[in-house]
Structure 1
Amino acid sequence: MILHDFLPSGNGYKIRLLCACLGLNVPLKEYDITQGETRTEAFLALSPNGKIPLLELDSGECLSESNAILLYLAEKYQSPLLPVDLIQKADIHKWLFWEQYSHEPNIASVRFWLTHNAMNALKKQMLPDRVQQGNEALQLMDDTLKNQTFLIGEDLSLADICLFAYTHVAEEGGAYQLSDFPNIQRWIRDIESQDWFIPITQR
């Protein structure tokens, strides 16, 4: 397999973090999305939406959408991060869907805007509402983690891998203060203490 990725991307980091957890050594092919490197004819032939991450399988087939890739790898390698219990599995799916709808657009997009000089008049107008919604998302996570170690209970799951990626770098750009969310801070430390953990900057 080959992972096509942009190193600062939390969506790509999810996949690299899961691979580290599973003990998979997946080669990385890097692209700079700020320079249009995923808009070339060669990349679009692999991924028509021109986005990373993209997981190229040994068969030549390509999988896009970070959370779909997470689910594929967890299923393929029968990871306990995706339990067989249908209620627990549905709970994980809930968090993955929520991440893309309520978390990523407000945490990740704001981080990108502020750290890559990507602001314009429309984004400046949108920013206060995005930050408010992002703080609401972080508060929901913090409330959930108040009485349990991880997002679906006492065991690490795919939900934690997914949400960790952009949550732990939410402060980049200055829009969010994780000190306001002590349970999230504890959860971040718990994940960073795993013996397989790799930082977002690791290739």
Structure 2
Amino acid sequence: MASIGTLYTTPEQGSGKRIRAVAALNGLKVDLPEHYVHFEDNKKPEFLAKFPHGKIPAFDGADGFKLFESAAIARYIAALAPNSTLLGSNTKEAALVDQWVSFADSEVALHTTLIFQLVKGILTPYAKPIHTALQERQNRSLKTIEAHLATRTFLVTERITLADITLASVIQRAVQVNLDASARPQFPNVIRHFETVVNHPQLKDIFGQTAYIDKALAFTPPPKEKKEAKPAAAPAPKAPKPAKEEEDDEDDGIPRDEPKAKNPLDSLPKSSFNLEDWKRAYSNKETRGADGALEWFYKNFDAEGFSVWRVDFKYPSELTQTFMSSNLIGGFFNRLEASRKYLFGSMGVLGETNNSLISGALIARGQDIKPVVDVAPDFESYDYKRLDLSNAEDKAFFEAALAWDLEIDGKKWVDGKNFK
């Protein structure tokens, strides 16, 4: 069977599964790239030449036709087979299919994504009322679907349509985020419908095994920094005690405070680069130009005592509004408070709504970034790459991040925050 084209996706991407399922039911072959690495290959010039937005799923047709956005790709492939009923058999059924596809994406999927971002600290600050409101909106959507499925097997016709495949891909994500063991009994028809679709013989291998969560993902607040106790007043001098006998040298049973653990960064050799002086220079000088902050930096930087890093948010596909992405940076910086004397940062949001990324630069004490950033519970949501300032490309990235004019893959800097 000849392939109709190549689909750029990842094995776990729900919208990619949706498209592959449509092709399977239509008896069409869609190729997957053998060695696609997301966040790397979709940034390469050859990919961007085909899909300038750099987004997946993306379909590269064998006839040269190119398409992105999962709903559009799925609808196109659903219409390719001449006898397909995936889009309904008449205009009214086709409209109902479109209705339920839109409802599944805009109501159930959207709220699942927002809840995931909220509890994972991607949307900050976390607010319980917002979490509750999002959950209530999703429950309302699921109740609508539950009532509709109470008298029918599938959403539109007596056979699986694109609407059913779309809903199944959305519910598979929900049962792994917030549709937990206590919530699922409220929606028996939704779960029955989901299991019917994903266990269809032609779709079972595409959807794979579903890991149902027992308890919904919950927000874990960052640990509060312990305040140092104020030093106690000096005790009044005591009269000298008589010499103890030898047996009195034993433990008297009174608990002693353990000595406070010392931060390993404090044990590093003293550096000639004063981070506080740098922060003042950066705040008070123009970033570029003669006698600017960057000139001060290069004149004073100690590469043995400090290191420079590129930092990128790992999940740009989860980012929506740019102001929310900016809040995400602010939350990350707030949780780095315990490392303030070891760290400087300049990070920003690049791009536009529903097409943005977070990137920037850090100046950190020592040669290992982890001891500096692991005070923040969400530090693992970012990738860290050491920058070599003797390399022209790394140096240009560093300077642009500090000057707030960084541009990556055509995405321009729209907002930024400093950690100083």
State the Cα deviation string for residues 114-146 of structure 1 (Å, max 9, x = none): 89x562414x34543332222222221111111
Question: Is 1:168 aligned with 2:172?
Answer: yes
Cα separation, 2, equivalents of 1:37 and 1:193: 32
Cα separation, 2, equivalents of 1:159 and 1:51: 23
Following TM superposition, by how much is the alpha carbon of 1:62 offset from its aligned partner in structure 2, in angstroms?
1.2
Following TM superposition, by how much is the alpha carbon of 1:13 offset from its aligned partner in structure 2, in angstroms?
1.0
Give the TM-score of the pair, scaled to structure 1: 0.84
Following TM superposition, by how much is the alpha carbon of 1:2 offset from its aligned partner in structure 2, in angstroms?
0.3
Task: Please show how residues 173-188 of structure 1 align to structure 2 within 5 Å.
Answer: 173-174=177-178, 176=180, 177-188=183-194
One-letter amino acid of the counterpart of residue 190, structure 1: T
RMSD (CA atoms): 2.5
Contact 2:153 2:193 survives alignment (8 Å) = yes
- Residue in structure 1 matched with residue 105 of structure 2 by the alignment: 100
- Residue in structure 2 matched with residue 52 of structure 1 by the alignment: 56
Paired residue secondary structure (2:42): coil
Cα separation, 2, equivalents of 1:102 and 1:39: 30
Contact 1:114 1:173 survives alignment (8 Å) = no
- Residue in structure 2 matched with residue 66 of structure 1 by the alignment: 70
Aligned mate of 2:85, from 71, 80, 84: 80
Give the TM-score of the pair, scaled to structure 2: 0.43
One-letter amino acid of the counterpart of residue 196, structure 1: Q
Paired residue secondary structure (2:79): helix
Following TM superposition, by how much is the alpha carbon of 1:201 offset from its aligned partner in structure 2, in angstroms?
4.8
Q: Which has the higher contact order (CA 8 A, sep 6+)?
A: 1
Runs (4+) of structure 1 exceeding 4 A deviation are: 30-33
Where is the helix percentage greater, Structure 1 or Structure 2? 1
Cα separation, 2, equivalents of 1:158 and 1:24: 15
Q: 1:128 to 1:6 in 2, by over 3 A?
A: farther
Contact 1:5 1:12 survives alignment (8 Å) = yes
Q: 1:171 to 1:32 in 2, by over 3 A?
A: farther
Q: Which has the larger radius of gyration?
A: 2
- Residue in structure 1 matched with residue 122 of structure 2 by the alignment: 119
Give the unaligned 5+ runs of structure 2: 210-420
Contact 1:150 1:160 survives alignment (8 Å) = yes
One-letter amino acid of the counterpart of residue 67, structure 2: L
Contact 1:38 1:50 survives alignment (8 Å) = yes
Paired residue secondary structure (1:26): strand
Where is the strand percentage greater, Structure 1 or Structure 2? 2
